[in-house]
């Protein structure tokens, strides 16, 4: 079993913000699963109060997959991730966290197992709550030329441009799906 967790902030006001790249990624993955995965295409995330997350479940590549979007806000992501890990009894090494990375140029991806938070408060919270850094990360670069004009907290909460949204959907998020598939296939 795998937990695929996209990080972000709940609420319409954050929907297209750079900090919600993780939410966008899991939404994209779910809407692009091949036919026969067991997931009804009209299925939506369902709220689970116990895990403080929106959850969708399916079988994918012969694995049970739980997709989640924590509703605890970015800086408290660890609260929801720990609740999800306990509920589904998933080993940390079978957790994949997808999130934005301010220090990477827009469109780049980095895949990593373990390591520090590198200053990302959502990851810092997860490491603290799980008591380990031994989980997968798929980082989506969000930086662009405007990065230097705004403080980091304001930049991550700024919206993606129309062109960036188009590139996310057509090029970047399909690569996230490929990388997620590789991790799951390796088991």
Active-site residue, from 18, 19, 52, 139: 19
Q: Please state, in angstroms and rounded to a whole number, the distance separating the CA atoms of residues 55 and 47.
A: 6
Q: Please state, in angstroms and rounded to a whole number, the distance separating the CA atoms of residues 165 and 127.
A: 30
Per the annotation, the verdict on 120 as an active-site residue is no
Q: Any residues with CB less than 8 A from the CB of 2 and at least 6 apart, and which?
A: 63, 64, 65, 66, 90, 94, 95, 96, 183, 184
Tell me which residues are annotated as active site: 19
């Amino acid at each position: 079993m795998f937990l695929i967790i996209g990080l972000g902030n709940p609420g319409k006001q954050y929907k297209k913000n750079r900090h919600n790249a993780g939410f966008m990624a899991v939404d994209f993955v779910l809407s692009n699963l091949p036919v026969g995965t067991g997931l009804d295409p009209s299925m939506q995330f369902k709220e689970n109060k116990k895990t403080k997350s929106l959850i969708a479940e399916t079988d994918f590549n012969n694995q049970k997959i739980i997709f989640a979007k924590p509703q605890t806000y970015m800086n408290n992501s660890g609260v929801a991730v720990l609740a999800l890990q306990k509920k589904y009894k998933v080993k940390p090494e079978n957790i994949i966290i997808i999130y934005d990375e301010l220090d990477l140029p827009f469109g780049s991806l980095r895949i990593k197992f373990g390591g520090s938070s590198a200053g990302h408060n959502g990851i810092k919270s997860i490491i603290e709550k799980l008591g380990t850094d031994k989980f997968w990360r798929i980082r989506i670069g969000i930086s662009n030329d405007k990065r230097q004009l705004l403080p980091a907290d304001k930049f991550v909460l700024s919206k993606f441009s129309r062109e960036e949204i188009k590139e996310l959907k057509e090029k970047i998020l399909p690569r996230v799906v490929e990388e997620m598939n590789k991790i799951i296939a390796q088991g």
